[in-house]
Amino acid sequence: EAGVTQFPSHSVIEKGQTVTLRCDPISGHDNLYWYRRVMGKEIKFLLHFVKESKQDESGMPNNRFLAERTGGTYSTLKVQPAELEDSGVYFCASSPLDGGAKNIQYFGAGTRLSVL
């Protein structure tokens, strides 16, 4: 079974540009989460989808960040325009809606975003 896949693994952009990160969750996982780790600090929650609906977006830093999950499958996180402080590692995680594994979140390898 394929794990959580994130693309790209690394993105380098200039301040003011737009970047789109993609996450493919484990097949069948209705919960999808985005997290971010900035400069060696804590990994912080950004938002949570249940299928295609945003369940909780309380961690989104500002309106330059837009997350979508069309059709309840893969998700994208767009940063527009990117600022220097957006640099960090963006993690995606997924979990099933039901069953014994619903407490466990399975993480992707992350996308390292560098804004210059």
Partner 1 sequence: AQSVTQLGSHVSVSEGALVLLRCNYSSSVPPYLFWYVQYPNQGLQLLLKYTSAATLVKGINGFEAEFKKSETSFHLTKPSAHMSDAAEYFCAVSEGDYGQNFVFGPGTRLSVLP
Given the rule CB under 8 A, which residues bind partner 1?
A: 3-4, 6, 31, 33, 35, 40-45, 48, 50, 55-56, 59, 91, 93, 95, 97, 102-110
Least gap, CB of 76 to partner 1 (angstroms):
18
Is the CB of 19 or the CB of 90 nearer to partner 1? 90
Is the CB of 55 or the CB of 80 nearer to partner 1? 55
Is the CB of 1 or the CB of 42 nearer to partner 1? 42
Say which DSSP state 100 is in.
G
Least gap, CB of 82 to partner 1 (angstroms):
23
Q: Which amino acid type is present at position 10?
A: H
3-state secondary structure of 57: coil
Is the CB of 18 or the CB of 55 nearer to partner 1? 55
Least gap, CB of 100 to partner 1 (angstroms):
9
CA separation, residue 114 to residues 53, 59, 74, 109 (Å):
29, 20, 23, 16
Half-sphere exposure of 24 (CA within 13 A, CB side): 9
What are phi and psi for residue 97, nearest 5 degrees?
Answer: -80, -30
